[in-house]
Structure 1
Amino acid sequence: MSCRRSVCELRFRSSHLQFGTPSKQPRVSLPSRRQWISSEGKPRHETHRSLLGGSKATGDGRGDETAGSGRRRVTISGLVRSVRKQKRVAFAHIQDGTTYEPIQAILDPQLAANITNGAYVELSGRWERSQGKGQAYELQVEQVNSIGESNADENPIQKQSMATDYLRTIPHLRIRTPFQSILARVRSHLIHSSADFFDGLSPPAVQVQPPLITSSDCEGAGEVFTLQFFREPKYLTVSSQLHLEAWSAELGNVWALSPTFRAEESDTSRHLAEFYMLEAEFRGTGGLGSVTRIAEQLIRSLTLSLANHPTGAELLSLYADRKHRPSDSECPDLEDRWSRLTGDSFLQVSYTDAIRELSQAAASSTSTITPPSWQAGLALEHERWLVDNLGRGRPIIVTDYPKIQKPFYMLPSNLDTDHETEAETETVACFDILLPHGYAEVCGGSLREHRLPQLINAMREKKLLLSSSSPEEQAGSSSTPYPYLQPGESLGSLQWYADLRRFGTSPHGGFGLGFDRLLAYLSGAASVRDVVGFPRYWGRADC
């Protein structure tokens, strides 16, 4: 007999003696007695989701019709979304954050005297079937346990729906609106699903935690936030890829979800100065196709996971209910959006073929798109045209971009390329995944240059090597000159990255997924600023 069981039985016998139960009365089982004490004694603290049946909640505020059957005493807590006081009865809608639908509480007017819109309350009472319309169950309040006061007249959050532009000015309070509340829970679910996806790979990918402060700009675009705290300038990371490569050399497949920073002066609905990037690196890749396949599977898996989860059902229900979504939001067809990511495989087209198709389209007398340029790359209008016309409204994967457009670390598409004779047309083994509905690029990846001589030469071509005035600087931490450097050259802050090739490496590749942009697409948000709790973008960093 376990110690836990002995203690439980001792407590049960003591309660029998205390209440003087006759020996002839049938002995009540322990689980039944616990339930009796819970239901008739101190009310059990519940959430709205648990009252609606936990994972069985349908998202329409009604949940599993059998979940709340029977009368039981419960305690709930949350923010008052609205309160309506009449002569004989008062009605309050309580939002506890577990669903976007509020709990309807029925109170005696005296109990509701100090309750105002926006206040925090804890209520105890009987959970029972509703006699009115609009909800299956309601709380008949017997006791108001606590109140966190709120001045309803000054509270920026009102019970009616409000515009997204206004809500962005009060990010610390907009989370209390139904749409922001459900977006936070959708994000949480997608993060959990991401971990499940990588854990299900063979072999599984290990989650790691890369640094946010780095010694170099791995993209080479110069769009970095600079820190002067250290002995020399450091930067907020623009990508965790280089550090993931260090982990991947030992652990194999690795992934991370962490903040990324870009000092871009882009005031658009698609850009943030601080956003979350889901990045993955895979050791021993068998070509670019093996990386694009995992990236596509990840997007497909996250979409299916949301569609089959209660938060997905809640999203569908919220858009159908005008009073709960932002006043200036449209009503997107989410099921159509999701099906575009979960149907047939994504169309794959090379950059060269994409430029040819765009050039032909631009030459048409009825065309409104700007003629593309091989060197300049694809503009947003070009990406949208490719998705709408080549992809027929479904995602498209564009591969093998020109080397001159891409960072130094990408592996050439053709390993036998003559750099001197084919520099203008040389491409690298990389890809971008473009989403429909104007969201465009959501994921980008590549094979990495794993050969040390070619990597250093690529750094030289991108003018990333520094001038060195002393042999020690050229040698780094060793008295021996660094391999493949020319006299007067130094790797500077990128020497550690070159060391990953110098001291044992293998073919590898990976990708980065714009987590916030994917969340915006899946949730129907018109701007990435609305799927981030405290958005930072050009000119704004509130709170």
Structure 2
Amino acid sequence: MLKTTISEVYKYVDQEVKIGAWVANKRSSGKIAFLQLRDGTGFIQGVVVKSDVPEEVFQAAKAVTQESSVYITGKIQKDERSPFGYEMLVTGIEVIQAAVDYPITPKEHGTEFLMDHRHLWLRSRRQHAIMKIRNEIIRATYEFFNEQGFVKVDPPILTGSSAEGGSELFATKYFDEDAYLSQSGQLHLEAAAMALGKVFSFGPTFRAEKSKTRRHLIEFWMIEPEMAFYDHEDNLKVQEEYVSHIVQSVLKNCELELKTLGRDTSKLEQIKAPFPRITYDEAIKFLHEKGFDDVQWGDDLGAPHETAIAESYDKPVFITHYPTSLKAFYMQPDPNREEVVLCADLIAPEGYGEIIGGSERIHDYELMKQRIEENNLDLDTYKWYLELRKYGSVPHSGFGLGLERTVAWISGVEHVRETIPFPRLINRLYP
């Protein structure tokens, strides 16, 4: 018997095949049973007609329980009514393991219940679709940066200092000295860029931030490119081309998943470079015109402010040239206006907030030393980072894209907890 997967059945129309699967759901009448089957690659309906199969096969179809594992054989045929386009006329069922009292039933469940059973919730059609979109974004990320001549570099997760200079760090002991879980691989990637030109990383980052918003996770994944000889303008072009690439890749390769989630793809079809840009000054003026009198020049922009700005555009929008006081110590000041830096946050449409933060980095030794001291950072700890400005320093830029927020935006999911297999939140370290 030919063995295949659900995603490959289109190759075997009118042929009999064998698939290893789980029974996601079922319904039956006196003469026919419908089995909703999944195997990780996709979902397909298995139709068991009593008159066409031995009695024991039909009885097995009626008795099989939700999430039981099976080997199922049958003939593949096209089905225009199915979102997948195919169904299986079942001829045989072999139960591998019969599941009893599966906790997640087709009825409604509360969020906490589903989060407690995240290891099982991942099996649902909705979660399957989100994870497939996440995977496509990752695949397209490697494709984009490889085609652009970037080298993948893996910065350390255990570090002796903070990339941002902040206090939201997870501390641990590294034998007899203090260490921290990485907030960002940026500083080490700058060193790699001085050796390899254009580099990027993809890995986990950690923020001990006591936030409960739908946009925040304690552990999340970031894509972080760093580029030697790239200025602020060059940096923005890479960002908009990269985001355009991943959105169009999802539209092309995840049509069924987007349909499963009910995503309005017309909004995604507009996401093509170039993206609109406004300065921080213009953002403050705009917010005042919209009645946000609570925010003044020098204040950071919160979620309501970002959403109000994003609603004026049908593409992601760059907010550039933030005040120096709001941003990290390593950002290059505007040569024409030192109170602002050459940076940008990329705000996604539809209320999803910032998905990218980036900047041109300071490349002058004396200025970087001054900024380290002004931010009360230990010069010895940052000695190696400062030395990058001592031995062949060049203008360079980079950015970081938060994967989970990007998955949420592209897939249309409200909360980032659904965009990572096992979310880590303030109150959740299980499962």
Give the TM-score normalised by the residue count of structure 2. Answer: 0.92
Query: Matched residue of 2:23: which SS?
Result: strand
Give me the whole-angstrom Cα distance separating, in 1, the residues matched to 2:80 and 2:410.
36
Aligned residue number for residue 442 of structure 1: 355
The Cα shift of 1:130 comes to 6.6
Give me the whole-angstrom Cα distance separating, in 2, the residues matched to 1:150 and 1:115.
9
Is 1:121 the counterpart of 2:70 in the alignment? yes
Larger Rg belongs to: 1
Aligned match of 2:181 in 216, 232, 236?
236
**Contact 2:44/2:86, CA 8 A, preserved across alignment:** no
Give me the whole-angstrom Cα distance separating, in 2, the residues matched to 1:358 and 1:102.
49
Give me the whole-angstrom Cα distance separating, in 1, the residues matched to 2:82 and 2:346.
46
**Contact 1:215/1:235, CA 8 A, preserved across alignment:** yes
- Going from structure 1 to structure 2, the CA distance change for 1:451 and 1:88 (only over 3 Å counts) comes to same
Aligned residue number for residue 93 of structure 1: 36
Is 1:412 the counterpart of 2:336 in the alignment? no
Aligned residue number for residue 5 of structure 2: 47
Q: How does 1:367-382 map to 2 (within 5 A)?
A: 367=291, 369-382=292-305
Aligned match of 2:264 in 329, 333, 339?
333
- Going from structure 1 to structure 2, the CA distance change for 1:86 and 1:379 (only over 3 Å counts) comes to closer
Query: Matched residue of 2:161: which SS?
Result: coil
**Contact 1:78/1:94, CA 8 A, preserved across alignment:** yes
- What are the Cα deviations for residues 156-203 of structure 1, in whole angstroms up to 9, with x where unaligned? 2223565555422211111110011111111111111111111121xx
The Cα shift of 1:218 comes to 1.1
Query: Matched residue of 2:213: which SS?
Result: coil
Aligned residue number for residue 56 of structure 1: none
Aligned residue number for residue 315 of structure 1: 257
Give me the whole-angstrom Cα distance separating, in 2, the residues matched to 1:416 and 1:542.
48
Q: Aligned-pair RMSD on alpha carbons?
A: 2.3
**Contact 1:94/1:105, CA 8 A, preserved across alignment:** no
- Going from structure 1 to structure 2, the CA distance change for 1:354 and 1:91 (only over 3 Å counts) comes to closer
Give me the whole-angstrom Cα distance separating, in 2, the residues matched to 1:430 and 1:275.
22
Q: How does 1:5-404 map to 2 (within 5 A)?
A: 43-52=1-10, 67-70=11-14, 72-99=15-42, 101-106=43-48, 108-112=57-61, 115-128=64-77, 137-151=86-100, 154-160=101-107, 162=109, 164=111, 166-201=113-148, 204-285=149-230, 287-309=231-253, 311=254, 313-319=255-261, 331-336=262-267, 338-342=268-272, 345-359=274-288, 361=289, 367=291, 369-389=292-312, 392-404=313-325
**Contact 1:168/1:530, CA 8 A, preserved across alignment:** no
Aligned residue number for residue 58 of structure 1: none
Is 1:526 the counterpart of 2:375 in the alignment? no
Query: Matched residue of 1:427: which SS?
Result: strand
Query: Matched residue of 1:227: which SS?
Result: strand
Is 1:495 the counterpart of 2:383 in the alignment? yes
**Contact 1:358/1:371, CA 8 A, preserved across alignment:** no
- What are the Cα deviations for residues 411-435 of structure 1, in whole angstroms up to 9, with x where unaligned? 1111785xxxxxxxx1111111111
Aligned residue number for residue 393 of structure 2: 505
Give me the whole-angstrom Cα distance separating, in 1, the residues matched to 2:346 and 2:79.
49
Give me the whole-angstrom Cα distance separating, in 2, the residues matched to 1:532 and 1:510.
24
Aligned length: 424
The Cα shift of 1:388 comes to 2.1
Query: Matched residue of 1:217: which SS?
Result: coil
The Cα shift of 1:341 comes to 2.0
- What are the Cα deviations for residues 347-389 of structure 1, in whole angstroms up to 9, with x where unaligned? 1111122223323x15xxxx3x243222222122222222223
The Cα shift of 1:445 comes to 0.5
Give me the whole-angstrom Cα distance separating, in 1, the residues matched to 2:341 and 2:80.
67
Give me the whole-angstrom Cα distance separating, in 2, the residues matched to 1:120 and 1:68.
22
Give me the whole-angstrom Cα distance separating, in 2, the residues matched to 1:160 and 1:404.
51
- What are the Cα deviations for residues 27-65 of structure 1, in whole angstroms up to 9, with x where unaligned? xxxxxxxxxxxxxxxx1111111113xxxxxxxxxxxxx
Give me the whole-angstrom Cα distance separating, in 2, the residues matched to 1:293 and 1:527.
29
Query: Matched residue of 2:388: which SS?
Result: helix
**Contact 2:258/2:411, CA 8 A, preserved across alignment:** no
Which is strand-richer, 1 or 2?
A: 2
The Cα shift of 1:68 comes to 4.3
Deviates more, 1:156-165 or 1:238-247: 156-165
Give me the whole-angstrom Cα distance separating, in 1, the residues matched to 2:283 and 2:12.
56
**Contact 1:80/1:120, CA 8 A, preserved across alignment:** yes
Give me the whole-angstrom Cα distance separating, in 1, the residues matched to 2:38 and 2:161.
46
- What are the Cα deviations for residues 96-155 of structure 1, in whole angstroms up to 9, with x where unaligned? 1212x333142632443652111111112333457998886443434334412200xx21
**Contact 1:68/1:137, CA 8 A, preserved across alignment:** no
Give the TM-score normalised by the residue count of structure 1. Answer: 0.74
Deviates more, 1:85-94 or 1:190-199: 85-94
Give me the whole-angstrom Cα distance separating, in 1, the residues matched to 2:83 and 2:406.
33
Give me the whole-angstrom Cα distance separating, in 2, the residues matched to 1:168 and 1:370.
39
Is 1:433 the counterpart of 2:378 in the alignment? no
**Contact 2:224/2:399, CA 8 A, preserved across alignment:** yes
The Cα shift of 1:537 comes to 1.2
Query: Matched residue of 2:209: which SS?
Result: coil
- Going from structure 1 to structure 2, the CA distance change for 1:68 and 1:379 (only over 3 Å counts) comes to same
Q: Amino acid of the residue matched to residue 353 of structure 1?
A: E
Is 1:462 the counterpart of 2:375 in the alignment? yes
